[in-house]
Copies of this chain bind each other. A is one copy, B any other.
Amino acid sequence: MVKHKLQLDPAVREEARRRLLSIRGHVEGILRMLESEDVYCVDALRQIKAVQGALDKVGELVLRSHLKDHVVTAHQRGDVEAIVEELMEVLKYR
């Protein structure tokens, strides 16, 4: 574990929240779509894929911020091993 007071950049945190609010709305849209017995599988798959894409963007945002603010300074802080391993874990099948 990284011993830290490492925190997500406030502006990125705000942008991530904004996007996740929109993602929640999108999920609710799929929920409504699935109330209809006429829904077609591929239309549901397309919506799920769109939400995945939107989540990818949030992940990208947070990842870039983490790299810039915390990973590039790990050597100076002395927590290289922990920073790298937790990052590798989270990058698997992103």
Q: Mark A68-84, 1 if CB is under 8 A from B, else 0.
A: 11111111100010011
Closest to A31 in B: B20
Copies in the complex: 4
In the assembled complex, the Cα of A65 lies from the Cα of B64 at a distance in Å of: 18
Majority secondary structure of chain A interface residues (helix, strand, loop or mixed): helix
When distances are taken between beta carbons in the complex, the residues of chain B under 8 Å from A80 are: 68, 72
Kindly identify which residue among B21, B28, B83 contacts A72, using a CB–CB cutoff of 8 Å: B83
Asked if residues A17 and B40 are in contact (CB atoms below 8 Å), the reply is no
Are the C-beta atoms of B73 and A91 separated by less than 8 Å? no
Q: A20 CB to closest chain B CB, in angstroms?
A: 5
A-B pairs, top 5 by smallest CB distance, nearest first, are A41-B66, A72-B74, A72-B75, A73-B75, A45-B90
